[in-house]
Amino acid sequence: MKKSILKDLDMNDGMAVTLAMLKAHPMQYLGVIGLDQKPKVKAFEFKYEENGKLWFDTIRGKETWKEILQNPEVELTVADSETMDWIRISGKVRIQEDEEHRQKAFAASPILRKYYSGPEAKKVVPFTLDNVQVEVASLEPDIGTHIYRL
């Protein structure tokens, strides 16, 4: 059986735990309120951390972009089906449309580089989260559940 990555981490360091989980599971799932006011879950990709902030991106004009403009409260999750570790990150989207953050998102993501090169690159809209709460849990009794404010 696969060993939990949480066993080797300092569970008092919320950012280190959060980054370890996001990097170990590069495809996450983002929960948003849809344009029809119904919950939607989207496949999503964490890009990078900078100065204590988690960075993601969306694509201008796409459904997710419209949804987070309408309701910026989101929640992201991922779980490991073998270890039964999971993370849930909630916060309020803060769009940061500048070239520096866009380039950092591209540097962190082969997916962006593959599908959004040339003029299409300007459609990439970086964002971070404010008022972040992270809940990390494991069914391992010696790990339990931990809540962090980032």
pLDDT digits (tens, 9 = 90+) for 133-143: 999 999 888 89
Query: Hey, is 88 helix, strand or coil?
Result: strand
* C-alpha–C-alpha distance, residues 132 and 19, integer Å: 13
Which domains occur in the chain, in start order?
5-149 (2.30.110.10)
Helices (H) and strands (E) in the chain, counts: 4, 8
> Is residue 132 within 8 Å of 126, Cβ to Cβ?
no
Direct distance between the N- and C-terminal alpha carbons of the chain, in angstroms, rounded to an integer = 31
- Paired with 79 in beta bridges are 86
Query: Hey, is 47 helix, strand or coil?
Result: coil
Closest C-alpha among 18, 23, 38, 50 to residue 127:
50
Residue 9 class from Cβ within 10 Å (0-12 exposed, 13-18 middle, 19+ buried)?
A: middle
Closest C-alpha among 108, 95, 1 to residue 45:
108
Please tell me the predicted confidence (pLDDT) of residue 122.
94
> Is residue 20 within 8 Å of 5, Cβ to Cβ?
yes
Please tell me the predicted confidence (pLDDT) of residue 58.
97
pLDDT in tens, the chain (150 residues): 788 999 999 999 999 999 999 999 999 999 999 999 999 999 999 999 999 999 999 999 999 999 999 999 999 999 999 999 999 999 999 999 899 999 999 999 999 999 998 899 999 999 999 999 999 999 888 899 999 999
pTM for the full model? 0.93
